[in-house]
């Protein structure tokens, strides 16, 4: 009799504990987010150029950027005063370039640490010496800005340099921004992309990522400073995603 009573107590305790366990298990299972578990892990989100909310906050809080909207007549006035007589055809440039280089009227533009030349399809890598000096200083000051941000150095990408009237006319058929008379034909003007930057360790940076939206802010600040110093004229070309820059007197 005593043995039966003991067994009944043991079964009662085991049954009670089992009920507690099952109740807790049911509550745990019902609280699980099964939809969330079925989703793939969310990857980092990259915004189109100009649409990153964090970059917009950083830009307005930290960077002093001017309008950078010098129009074409302003660029032309500087280019005509400081540049060469335009080459009419590509053949004319190619047959005379050595004399222009030897006389110091033009300098050949080479890749540097803080800027690289993109593949030039409608222009040639030559500029007047003052324009080359300007580009080099922009690169140095841009790199200094990145150091202040504790970012690794990035090279700017130069997308267009000296054009002939022939190449300018050919470009005008494809690019609405390519006016009939451009400062590019005087050797005083160059374009720098604001959406392509090359890490100096050599791996090509992908376009359109949030980081590039951040990188263009310090570059724009450098150009604002140098424009205010009277060193250059700058306009933002949105269709070509570049800064159009002309050396000033």
59 and 34 assigned to the same domain: no
89 and 12 assigned to the same domain: no
25 and 91 assigned to the same domain: no
Beta bridge partners, 197, equal 156
Q: For 191-219, what is the mean pLDDT?
A: 76
Residue 44 scores a pLDDT above 60:
no
Total domains present in the chain:
2
Q: Is residue 48 part of a domain?
A: no
Q: For 39-54, what is the mean pLDDT?
A: 55
**Cα 32–chain centre separation:** 43
Q: Is residue 45 part of a domain?
A: no
Q: What is the pLDDT of residue 14?
A: 64
Residue 129 scores a pLDDT above 70:
yes
Give the tens place of pLDDT for each residue, 174-184. Answer: 555 455 789 99
Q: What percent of the chain has pLDDT over 70?
A: 67
Q: Is residue 214 part of a domain?
A: yes
User: What predicted TM-score, i.e. pTM, was given to this entire model?
Assistant: 0.74
Show Cβ contacts of residue 239 under 8 Å, excluding neighbours closer than 6 positions. 175, 176, 177
Domain that holds residue 27: 2-38
Q: What is the pLDDT of residue 37?
A: 46
Determine which of 14-23, 146-155, 160-169 has the lowest per-residue pLDDT on average: 14-23
Q: Is residue 43 part of a domain?
A: no
Q: What percent of the chain has pLDDT over 90?
A: 52
80 and 123 assigned to the same domain: yes
Cβ atoms 78, 247 nearer than 8 A: yes
173 and 221 assigned to the same domain: yes
8 and 114 assigned to the same domain: no
Give the tens place of pLDDT for each residue, 54-103. Answer: 666 655 556 788 899 999 999 999 999 999 999 999 999 999 999 999 99
Reference 116, options 200, 232, 222, 242; nearest CA is: 200
Average model confidence (pLDDT) for the chain? 82
Cβ atoms 123, 162 nearer than 8 A: yes
Cβ atoms 76, 181 nearer than 8 A: yes
């Amino acid at each position: 009799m005593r043995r039966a009573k003991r067994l009944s107590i043991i079964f009662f305790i085991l049954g009670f504990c089992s009920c507690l366990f099952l109740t807790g298990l049911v509550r745990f299972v019902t609280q699980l987010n099964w939809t969330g578990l079925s989703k793939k892990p969310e990857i980092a989100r990259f915004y189109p150029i100009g649409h990153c909310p964090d970059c917009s906050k950083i830009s307005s809080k930290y960077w002093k950027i001017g309008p950078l909207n010098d129009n074409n007549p302003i660029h032309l006035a500087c280019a005509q005063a400081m540049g060469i007589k335009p080459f009419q055809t590509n053949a004319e440039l190619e047959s005379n370039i050595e004399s222009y280089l030897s006389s110091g009227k033009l300098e050949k533009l080479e890749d540097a640490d803080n800027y690289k030349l993109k593949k030039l399809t409608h222009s040639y890598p030559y500029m007047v010496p003052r324009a080359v000096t300007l580009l080099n200083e922009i690169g140095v000051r841009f790199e200094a800005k990145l150091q202040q941000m504790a970012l690794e150095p990035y090279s700017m990408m130069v997308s267009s340099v000296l054009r002939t009237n022939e190449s300018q006319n050919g470009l005008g058929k494809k690019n609405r921004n390519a006016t009939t008379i451009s400062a590019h034909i005087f050797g005083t003007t160059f374009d720098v992309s604001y959406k392509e930057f090359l890490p100096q360790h050599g791996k090509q940076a992908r376009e359109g990522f949030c980081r590039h939206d951040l990188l263009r802010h310090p570059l724009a600040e450098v150009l604002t400073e140098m424009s205010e110093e009277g060193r250059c004229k700058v306009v933002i070309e949105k269709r070509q995603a570049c800064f159009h820059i002309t050396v000033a007197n």
